[in-house]
A and B are shown apart, each in its own frame.
Chain A
Amino acid sequence: MTSHAPPAPPVQASPPPLPRRAVRLPPWAPLLAGAAAATAAYLAFRGTATLPHDPEAAPFRIIGDVRAWADANRNQSPVFLFFVNYVRLFVGGLYDVLLTVLTAPGWAGLSGIATGIGLLAGGWRTGLLTALGFGSFGVLGVWEASVTTLALVLTAVLLSLAAGLPLGILAGHSARLRRLLDPVLDVMQIMPTFAYLAPMVLFFQIGPASAAVATMIYSVPPAIRITALAIRQVSPSAVEASVSLGATRGQTLRKVELPMARATIGLAVNQTIMMALSMVVIAALIAAPGLGSDIIRGLTRADVGVMLPAGLAIVVMAIVLDRVTSSAAARPPYGAARPGKARALSASRLRWLCAAAVALGGPALGRALPEEFPAGLVLRLAGPVNEAVDAVTFSWYDLTEAVRNLTTEALLNPLQTVLTSAPWWLVAAVVLAVAWRTGGPRPAAVAVGCLLATALIGLWQHTMETLTTVLVAVALTLLAGVLLGIAAARSPRFAAVQRPLLDAAQTMPAFVYLLPALALFGATRFTAVFASVIYAVPPVIRLVEDGVRNVSPAAVEAALSCGSTGWQLLWKVRLPMARRAILLAANQGIVMTLAMVVVGGLVGAGGLGYDVVSGFSQRADFGMGFAAGVATVLLGIMLDRITQGAGARPSPRTTTGKKRIA
């Protein structure tokens, strides 16, 4: 981990004193001593006080019993009869209604309506993008699955917004509520997607209703957080003016605060949709219908040809929804002063007309067109794609095999041996020391507490295995991210090429990254490492690039005038001064990597992720899977606390969206 950076107060504006040897040495000395002590302790106590995995651990049995109780009482206990089952019924009903509504106009009709909405939201470009996007669902041959996924996303988003916006508004007004919500939302945002599913199965069983609830819970934090932020950002003088003019609280909210917070709340909606979209895919594990189901089918058969159309459709859907909602949010509110107001008004009227024409034209056309998407237009990708994949895997076999085996034998296996054969107290002591150094006593206490809790729920060994994979993936992510980030900061041309790639990469749901990894490397731990590196590297690149580029020009000038070479400038000035950004990048990278490594349980990553997967598919393992979900959360909090020493840290998930980083 990147723990060797000394905890110095952030130096941003003033040029640093030129480094002198005598001052630089001491911060390293205790670290070296600590590392030596830990190594010595490991060599002396290796193999003692280990906590090997016991599939019969008491916590697993207890959770299994809870499930047995829930199964037995689903139709008896009042908790189920009058609450849980009603929620299930209501959510299921909402999903059915939305699905019926979306299916009713046929493919042409729905595309037309969507295009109309796109036109309204962002002008002809967005409209065109929407039309092309919806068309591509049909061309990819996944129209029905796409509509199903869209219905599920809408269900979850509607529920999220119904709960999230009011809560966010309340939290925006009340600091106490904010303090209450913050830790809960923190945990929710660190939780890997997988961890949400098991409790859903416990209460709501499998199926679309359960999937929608899981998705809703997963996507509600940004709705609450960003709305609260939006309300707080409203200028207090505007609120004061409104109150002093005698407006009631409701009037102030409706007429002043909400309109002024509109753009930011739009962002909240946008983020909620994006989160929902990535969860809906994973929810296929608990029998959510739609594109996710195709992706799971491909994953369980290692059939890229099946996965690819569904994966592409998900990406297209993400891009379309992102564009439509973000341009809707960015549009100035009606009536706002614009240059040439009269012209703008007539233009907006024209746009309404256009949109209405397209939206009505679609269904009308749909009458004339066949109900199903014309088969002649569908691209049959599976065959050619699988041939291409076979060709690539065959011709690259030696290379991929070598890379995989090298990483596994040189990094994963030794590290895993060390972590699983070290006494638990030694691992805890190292975590304590590292977290104390990067964050101080409180984060250190939390980190160690979480670590030990994984032992208490009977998953120490698997936690160590997952930790191994995460550490290796994070190391590779940081290496790649820092190199590419520096390259981008140094060369504007390189940055210009890289930026759209990063944009696209950050709009994609995590699952999609498993496809190329699986195609190239088969199902192993390295596959998960590879997938998490490509998943987590874009935000790291961005943060590093920003950090290095934003180093104060005065410092750069000073170093140059002292005769620094380009490399000296980078090593001695830019990188040290960008430390904060790099630490933040490490934090981001770790949280994202963990999420992906856990999902990697589907492609042979082992450890906690596999426990979760197997908990869904083998009833006897339900307790272990549930506990493993909890353990991933604990591991996430631990890693987060260790790396959040970067200072005032924005919450991990909300910064992964490209808007907030830029």
Chain B
Amino acid sequence: MRIAHRIRLLAGVLALGLAAAGCGGATVDTGTGPAQPSAGAAGSSAPAGGGTVKIAVNPWAGYEASAAVITHLLEEKLGYTVEKKELAEQVSWEGFETGDVDVIVENWGHEDLKKTFVEEKKVAVEAGSTGNKGVIGWYIPKWMTDEYPGITDYRNLNKYAELFRTSESGDKGQLLFGDPSYVSNEKAIIENLKLDYKVVVGGSEAALIESATQAQQQRKPLLFYFWDPHWLFNKVELARVSLPPYTEGCDADPKKVACDYAELDLDKIVSKKFADTGGKAYELVKNFSWTNEHQNAVANDITNNGMSAEDAAKKWVDANPTVWAAWIPK
């Protein structure tokens, strides 16, 4: 009697489970309650409570600035709720598949990921340029160029390797790198150009900024990985080391890279689901486009002026109504 009851119960549970998954087993995007993107639910009735938009936040100030402004507009002007997810670049892409991420607001190239997630898996789509031009490169403080002639040419780097030695790099010169998740060809470039340098991971954007500031103030030699757009260029005079110039496809094989980084048109990527059902929120993300100066202003407020991302975004939005008015969907 009791056993029969149990079997019935078990069968019931199983049947329910299978039914829930459409009898075909569970696929990764089979829904899990409130974690689903529900931005579309709002339809046209914004700003009276839209849905939830999940924005990935990658670990650098420029990205945070763009995300903050989009968040502010979505919440204040369109009535959506925004969930910010603190994730590394490549992990964010995986979030498109699991439903954890709707929007990446500043994507740096990542052609391989586009191939996987946009073309093959079809879980993500491109949502246009952010208007920002992005360049990664190797930098030194400007004062070094006067003192050490020719130092900005990669062919002379070995001559000056001794200058850049630290307790972390041992008998080689140190090339200071940022967050482990950043786009990086450093190891391959060093190896393929036979440079006498070692990549030392500072661990964060903050570590790079602090080292660069010290290098300027205390005239300490420093060679480091950095990128533009960044507010730091307004505060610290930097010079870029010229690596062999970028040519189309020279970075195709990550192990054989021996050239500089390409100048990238930074763009936005959204999940397929969000593009299909995101309504006005998706329109806004698609329309979003600003200049490097705009981004630097907001990022500078967040990092140096003690403002929270929300406050910095509000300040910018209040000061630049003509810029963002064009992004708001009709």
**Listed stretches B68-76, B87-95, B226-234; interface member:** B87-95
Whether B202 contacts A301 by the Cβ 8 Å rule is: no
* Closest-CB distance, A228 to chain B (whole angstroms): 27
Interface residue? A208 (CB, 8 A): yes
**List of A residues within 8 angstroms of B30 by Cβ:** 85, 89
Q: CA separation between A86 and B202, bound complex, in Å?
A: 40
**List of A residues within 8 angstroms of B33 by Cβ:** 92-93, 96-97, 100
Whether A617 contacts B91 by the Cβ 8 Å rule is: yes
Interface residue? A251 (CB, 8 A): no
**List of A residues within 8 angstroms of B204 by Cβ:** 299-302, 523
Most chain A beta carbons < 10 A, residue from B35, B200, B255: B35
Interface residue? A581 (CB, 8 A): no
**List of B residues within 8 angstroms of A294 by Cβ:** 86
Interface residue? A195 (CB, 8 A): no
Interface residue? A568 (CB, 8 A): no
Whether B90 contacts A81 by the Cβ 8 Å rule is: no
Whether A205 contacts B97 by the Cβ 8 Å rule is: yes
Whether B28 contacts A525 by the Cβ 8 Å rule is: no
Whether A85 contacts B168 by the Cβ 8 Å rule is: no
Whether A89 contacts B180 by the Cβ 8 Å rule is: no
Q: CA separation between A197 and B82, bound complex, in Å?
A: 27
Q: Which of A58-95 contact B (CB under 8 A)?
A: 71, 74-75, 78, 80-82, 85-86, 88-89, 92-93
Q: Assess A303 versus B206: contact at CB under 8 Å? Given A207-B95, A287-B85.
A: yes
> How many interface contacts (CB-CB < 8 Å) are there between A and B?
147
Interface residue? B27 (CB, 8 A): yes
**List of B residues within 8 angstroms of A606 by Cβ:** 201
**List of A residues within 8 angstroms of B205 by Cβ:** 300-301
* Closest-CB distance, A662 to chain B (whole angstroms): 37
Whether A302 contacts B207 by the Cβ 8 Å rule is: yes
Q: Assess A524 versus B168: contact at CB under 8 Å? Given A85-B30, A604-B203.
A: yes
Interface residue? B17 (CB, 8 A): yes
Residue count of chain B within 8 Å CB distance of chain A: 52
Whether B94 contacts A523 by the Cβ 8 Å rule is: no
Whether B187 contacts A85 by the Cβ 8 Å rule is: no
Interface residue? A619 (CB, 8 A): yes
Interface residue? A650 (CB, 8 A): no
**List of A residues within 8 angstroms of B184 by Cβ:** 618
Whether B98 contacts A207 by the Cβ 8 Å rule is: yes
Whether A206 contacts B100 by the Cβ 8 Å rule is: yes
Q: CA separation between A91 and B180, bound complex, in Å?
A: 30
Closest residue on chain B to residue A81 by CB atoms:
B25
Instruction: Specify the main secondary structure of chain A where it touches its partner.
Output: helix
Q: Which of B34, B167, B201 contacts A413 (CB 8 A)?
A: B167
Residue count of chain A within 8 Å CB distance of chain B: 62
**List of B residues within 8 angstroms of A86 by Cβ:** 17, 21, 25-26
Whether B95 contacts A300 by the Cβ 8 Å rule is: no
Q: CA separation between A296 and B59, bound complex, in Å?
A: 10
Q: CA separation between A610 and B181, bound complex, in Å?
A: 11
Closest residue on chain A to residue B89 by CB atoms:
A617
Q: Which of B35, B112, B116 contacts A92 (CB 8 A)?
A: B35
Q: Assess A85 versus B59: contact at CB under 8 Å? Given A299-B204, A413-B167.
A: no
* Closest-CB distance, A479 to chain B (whole angstroms): 21
Closest residue on chain A to residue B170 by CB atoms:
A413
Whether B203 contacts A523 by the Cβ 8 Å rule is: yes
Q: Assess A96 versus B86: contact at CB under 8 Å? Given A81-B24, A88-B26.
A: no
Residue interface bits A502-527, CB-to-B below 8 A is 1, else 0: 00000000000000000000111100
**List of A residues within 8 angstroms of B210 by Cβ:** 302, 522
**List of A residues within 8 angstroms of B150 by Cβ:** none
Residue interface bits B169-191, CB-to-A below 8 A is 1, else 0: 01000000001110010010000
Q: Assess A602 versus B203: contact at CB under 8 Å? Given A206-B91, A208-B35.
A: yes
Q: CA separation between A554 and B87, bound complex, in Å?
A: 61
Interface residue? A182 (CB, 8 A): no
Q: Which of A86-116 contact B (CB under 8 A)?
A: 86, 88-89, 92-93, 96-97, 99-100
Interface residue? B32 (CB, 8 A): yes
Q: Which of B85, B180, B207, B306 contacts A613 (CB 8 A)?
A: B180
Whether A93 contacts B206 by the Cβ 8 Å rule is: no
Q: Which of A81, A296, A523 contacts B27 (CB 8 A)?
A: A81
Whether B86 contacts A85 by the Cβ 8 Å rule is: no
**List of B residues within 8 angstroms of A293 by Cβ:** 85-86
Interface residue? A620 (CB, 8 A): yes
Interface residue? B12 (CB, 8 A): no
* Closest-CB distance, A208 to chain B (whole angstroms): 7
Interface residue? A383 (CB, 8 A): yes
Interface residue? B329 (CB, 8 A): no
Whether B85 contacts A289 by the Cβ 8 Å rule is: yes
Q: Which of B203-218 contact A (CB under 8 A)?
A: 203-207, 210
**List of A residues within 8 angstroms of B308 by Cβ:** 382
Interface residue? B254 (CB, 8 A): yes
**List of A residues within 8 angstroms of B57 by Cβ:** 297
Q: Assess A206 versus B95: contact at CB under 8 Å? Given A302-B204, A302-B207, A602-B203.
A: yes
Q: Which of B32, B59, B95 contacts A297 (CB 8 A)?
A: B59
Residue interface bits A199-215, CB-to-B below 8 A is 1, else 0: 00000011111000000
Closest residue on chain A to residue B91 by CB atoms:
A206
Q: CA separation between A614 and B204, bound complex, in Å?
A: 13
Q: Which of A370-423 contact B (CB under 8 A)?
A: 382-383, 386, 404-405, 408-409, 413, 417
Most chain B beta carbons < 10 A, residue from A55, A88, A89, A286: A89
Interface residue? A603 (CB, 8 A): yes
**List of A residues within 8 angstroms of B181 by Cβ:** 614, 616-618
**List of A residues within 8 angstroms of B112 by Cβ:** 619
Residue interface bits A287-316, CB-to-B below 8 A is 1, else 0: 101000110110111110000000000000
Whether B26 contacts A81 by the Cβ 8 Å rule is: yes
Whether A85 contacts B25 by the Cβ 8 Å rule is: yes
Q: Which of B86, B187, B306 contacts A296 (CB 8 A)?
A: B86
* Closest-CB distance, B310 to chain A (whole angstroms): 12
Q: Assess A616 versus B35: contact at CB under 8 Å? Given A207-B100, A301-B204, A604-B202.
A: no
Interface residue? A56 (CB, 8 A): yes
Whether B180 contacts A85 by the Cβ 8 Å rule is: no
Q: CA separation between A110 and B207, bound complex, in Å?
A: 40
Q: CA separation between A246 and B30, bound complex, in Å?
A: 51
Interface residue? A448 (CB, 8 A): no
Q: Assess A617 versus B88: contact at CB under 8 Å? Given A301-B59, A523-B204, A604-B203.
A: yes
Q: Assess A74 versus B28: contact at CB under 8 Å? Given A56-B255, A616-B88.
A: yes
Q: Closest 9 A-B residue pairs measured CB to CB?
A: A81-B25, A617-B181, A523-B203, A302-B206, A85-B26, A96-B33, A92-B32, A617-B88, A300-B59
Using A96-B34, A382-B308, A616-B91 as known contacts, list a sample of 4 further A-B pairs with CB atoms less than 8 Å apart, ordered by residue number in A.
A75-B28, A96-B33, A300-B59, A301-B206
**What would 6 A/B residue contacts be, using CB atoms closer than 8 Å?**
A96-B32, A383-B306, A524-B168, A610-B201, A617-B90, A619-B112
Interface residues of chain B, those whose CB is within 8 Å of chain A, are: 17, 20-21, 24-28, 30, 32-35, 57, 59, 85-91, 94-95, 97-100, 112-113, 116, 167-168, 170, 179-181, 184, 187, 200-207, 210, 254-255, 306, 308
